[in-house]
Amino acid sequence: MKRISLMLQPETIRHRLMLLSAITIGMAVVLIAINSYQVISLENDLLTMEKVDALMNDILELRRYEKNILLKIEKGSVQKAMQSLFLINQDIKVLEPLIAHGIAASSFTSLVFNFNSYKNVFKRWCALNLCPDSAQGKRDIARIRQFGRNMVNDGEELVRHIRESLWIKFKKIVFGLTVVSILIFSCGAAITYSQTKNILRRLVSLRQATRDLAAGKFTPIHVPRAHDETTNLIVSFNKMVEALEQKQEQLIQSKKMASIGTFSSGIAHEINNPLNNISLSADMLMEEFDELDKEEVKEILDDIMAQTERASKIVKNLLDFSRAHATEMESLHIEEVLEKTKNLIVNELRIHKIALETEIAENLPPVYGDFQKLQQVFLNLIINAEQAIGEYGRIVLQAMQESDDTIRIDVSDTGPGIDQKHLEQIFDPFFTTKEAGKGTGLGLAIVYGIVEKHGGYVEVASKLGEGTTFSVYLPVHQGEKSGGRKPA
């Protein structure tokens, strides 16, 4: 029942194709029926033409016998003339139902009248055996000749009309077989092309969307008004895109948690310093409280407050980074993103004896993006660089204006570099050059996807034994070349 219901829906591709086939077959049947009728009609006219030719032959034979009788040059001409009159009469009876209507009817009626008149006069003349020299004989001979000429003229006119009818019907058949066939074929081809183009256009957009999806762009496809199988496919694809985008958000969040695990020792060390300072200041205050004057007490308390704010700021940065949130696109300055990213990872790098240097150009225009996601991009790149270096090395963050509408951020390291044969796959999901169990191959894929969503792109350059540089290109916020979210 469901299949039958789908076939009967006027919007479905299946129904359109079935309807198109039915229309084509129907038009072909009509064309065949019309041409068949015209062919049958032409065949009847050809048979009529044969009978008219026979009639004309009999009329001409009659005229010949008439001449022989008048000139008395052939015996038995009267009997032969009577036989011709009989044959002409038979031909007329056969033709009468065939030429009752149409353009030849008047000629045929005139021919019948002249034949009957000729027959009556001829029979009377033959029966009375009138002398050709008598007055009555001369009048009858004149009338016989006149009616005979009229019969020949009517016969020729009848032949002409029938030939014209044959030519008209022949042209109609040729027209039906050529022009109408071409018209039907053209209409069918136009409808088929239109339907095919419509379907292919949506399939091409679907193909492009799948390629974008493979590249990390979760862009839904516009749903067309026509509700058919491709529309259902597009709706299903959009649902899949939405689900995958949610999964990617979850993946990014899980990667954040993994990143926190990576630099947790550095965070612990960074928090431990202000806590130690607070502890020492509090012990001193308790032991020497009675001996200290108000200014010294205030100085120690100020130091405790400063160390508390320092620890609070570290925790706040960590919470801001780890907190899951909906995408919030805003105008922001890239130096703030890099500074806060640096604060999260710098102590972890110190533990591994890795120096983190920044070279940020002044007065960079703002970009339009999500602060946390961009922070995730640079944190992933720095962690990758740290893992590539291992111990003792240097990471350099550089930010500069590449062009009027593009900012470039380089993350360079002094690690072992990446083999050239791996560079084309470096951003593919689940591709990793790390040992088994030490990498998922998702970090750079996430980086690539986030940057693409911001309208940018990522490049990588590497030499074995020298290091690697990842270059992130982000578009300048055109709506605000200056200003935006200011660095804290």
Quickly list DSSP for 253-265. Answer: HHHHHHHHHHTHH
Residues 196, 148: Cα–Cα separation, whole Å: 70
Residue 471: the pLDDT is: 94
Residue 260: pLDDT band (50, 70, 90) is low
Q: Which of 141-150, 230-239, 244-253, 450-459 has the lowest mean pLDDT?
A: 244-253
Residues 177, 168: Cα–Cα separation, whole Å: 14
Find tokens 């695990």 and name the residue.
Answer: 261
CATH number of 263-323: 1.10.287.130
Q: Which of 303-307, 377-381, 472-476 has the lowest mean pLDDT?
A: 303-307
Q: Residue 121, Cβ neighbours under 10 Å: how many?
A: 19
In terms of pLDDT, which residue wins out, 283 or 398?
398
Residue 142: the pLDDT is: 85
Average pLDDT over residues 290-295: 73
Q: Three-state SS for 133?
A: coil
Residue 96 has, within 13 A of its CA and on its CB side, a CA count of: 10
412: which strand partners? Answer: 396, 469
Average pLDDT over residues 291-299: 72
Q: Residue 287, Cβ neighbours under 10 Å: how many?
A: 10
Q: Under CATH, which architecture does the 2-200 domain have?
A: Up-down Bundle (1.20)
Residue pLDDT, tens place only, 320-340: 555 555 567 889 999 999 998
Residue pLDDT, tens place only, 164-187: 888 887 887 777 778 777 877 787
Q: Which of 27-41, 228-242, 351-365, 474-488 has the lowest mean pLDDT?
A: 474-488
**Residue 384 clears pLDDT 50, i.e. is over it:** yes
In terms of pLDDT, which residue wins out, 459 or 44?
459
Residue 215: the pLDDT is: 63
Residues 275, 283: Cα–Cα separation, whole Å: 12
Cβ-contact 72, 60 below 8 angstroms? no
- Residue ranges with strand state E in 69-226: none
Q: Show the tokens assigned to 398.
A: 């550089």
Average pLDDT over residues 270-288: 69
Residue intervals in the chain for CATH 1.20.1440.210: 2-200
Residue 295 has, within 13 A of its CA and on its CB side, a CA count of: 0
In terms of pLDDT, which residue wins out, 171 or 313?
171
Q: Show the tokens assigned to 223.
A: 């749903």
In sequence order, the 6+-apart residues with CB closer than 8 A to the CB of 208 are: none
Residue pLDDT, tens place only, 114-144: 889 988 888 877 766 654 555 676 787 888 8
Residues 430, 436: Cα–Cα separation, whole Å: 12
Residue pLDDT, tens place only, 362-376: 889 999 988 888 988
Cβ-contact 412, 471 below 8 angstroms? no
Using a 10 angstrom Cβ sphere, with 0-12 exposed, 13-18 middle and 19 or more buried, the burial of residue 110 is: middle
Pick the CATH number of 328-488 from 3.30.565.10, 3.40.50.970, 2.40.50.140, 3.40.1280.10: 3.30.565.10
Residue 486: the pLDDT is: 47
Residues 230, 200: Cα–Cα separation, whole Å: 10
Average pLDDT over residues 137-159: 85
Find tokens 């749903």 and name the residue.
Answer: 223
150 φ, ψ to 5°?
-60, -40
Residues 470, 467: Cα–Cα separation, whole Å: 10
Residue intervals in the chain for CATH 1.10.287.130: 263-323
AA identity, residue 307: Q
Residue 249: the pLDDT is: 61
Q: Show the tokens assigned to 286.
A: 């308790």
AA identity, residue 441: G
Q: Show the tokens assigned to 193.
A: 């092309």
Among the listed residues 353, 412, 415, the one whose alpha carbon sits nearest the alpha carbon of residue 387: 415
Find tokens 């209507």 and name the residue.
Answer: 101
Q: What is the mean pLDDT of the chain?
A: 76
Cβ-contact 281, 292 below 8 angstroms? no
129 φ, ψ to 5°?
50, 55
Q: Is the whole model's pTM more than 0.85, yes or no?
A: no
In terms of pLDDT, which residue wins out, 237 or 265?
237
Q: Three-state SS for 432?
A: coil
AA identity, residue 125: W
Residue pLDDT, tens place only, 83-121: 988 998 898 888 888 886 767 788 888 888 988 998 888
Average pLDDT over residues 226-249: 71
Residue intervals in the chain for CATH 3.30.565.10: 328-488
Average pLDDT over residues 446-470: 87
Q: Three-state SS for 434?
A: coil
